[in-house]
Amino acid sequence: MKRASGVIAAMLGFGLCLWAQGIRVIMPAEIEVSEVKGKPFTATARTTLVQVLPDGTKKTRTVEDRIARDSKGRIYREQHLPWTEDANNPIYYVNIYDPVEKRRIHIDPQNHNVIIRPIDRPIHYDALEYLTLKATRPGEQIKNEKLGTKEFEGINAWGRRTLHTFPAGMFGNPVSFVSVDECWYEERMGVDVLRRRSDPRSGEQVTELINLTGAEPDPTIFQPPPGYTRQAPPARHPE
């Protein structure tokens, strides 16, 4: 049975905000990975979400996604939908960034579909860029903080925190609120080791990189699965 129809289109359209169970769901901040050649790794991104529903019920969800990068700079990542109710049949997608073939591959294991898009520039993720974020709308405020260095499972990372204050009325909110985004970044490998987000609209999120090894991943994971149907990319909606 086909599930989550339309969700993959929203995700592939780079939409980060969806609706589920009648409440606004913001996709978790992902562990960012830069295109770095010659530094392969495999790891697991474990995300824990704590959310309070409109009736006051508190829900906690934990999902684990595989992440890998090979020596060619190809990046593989899974993305489980955190509000999936059936733990035995979770809904998830796979995104592959392939600088060798200059393409992005989006895989839907539920429906055995694949979408391929061309890419025209490499991923050069740099957590330092977040320290230069500035407010762009009237009334909002952004404060960037350096957190120094910290060790995670033997990995030294440096951290930054961004506090984003939204004024009352910007999203129909009766009072102002603050969202907090915290990131710890390992510069040599070009990968985040921890992301923490707090937002009253979506709850609390902690995503940590665990089981990190320098092993070369299986090269077959960077290819579309055999037997999958290739679909045309969904139309992008105007901003």
Q: pLDDT tens across 171-223, in order?
A: 888 889 899 999 999 988 899 999 999 988 888 999 999 999 999 999 999 99
CA–CA separation, 76 and 186 (whole Å): 18
Q: What proportion of the chain, given as a percentage, has pLDDT over 70?
A: 79
Domain spans in the chain, listed from the N-terminal domain onward:
7-231
Which pTM value belongs to this model?
0.80
Cα-based torsion angle of the residue sequence 150, 130, 209, 123 in order, rounded to the nearest 10 degrees: -130
Cβ-contact 66, 213 below 8 angstroms: no
pLDDT digits (tens, 9 = 90+) for 40-93: 999 999 999 898 877 888 888 888 999 999 999 999 999 988 766 566 777 889
Is residue 8 classed exposed, middle or buried when 0-12, 13-18 and 19+ CB atoms within 10 A define those classes? buried
Residue 230's pLDDT is 93
CATH number belonging to the domain at 7-231, selected among 3.40.50.9100, 3.40.50.10860, 2.50.20.10, 3.40.640.10: 2.50.20.10
Tallying the residues shown for the chain, one arrives at 239
> Is residue 239 over pLDDT 90?
no
Nearest CA-CA partner of 50 in 195, 199, 171, 208: 199
Contact partners, residue 28, CB within 8 Å, separation at least 6: 47, 49, 82, 195, 197, 205, 207
CA 163 to chain centre: 19
* Dihedral, CA of residue 17, residue 22, residue 23 and residue 24, to nearest 10: 10
Q: Pick the range with the lowest mean pLDDT from 15-29, 35-49, 89-103, 167-181.
A: 15-29
Tell me what the pLDDT averaged over the chain comes to: 82
Split at pLDDT 50, 70, 90, the class of 20 is very low
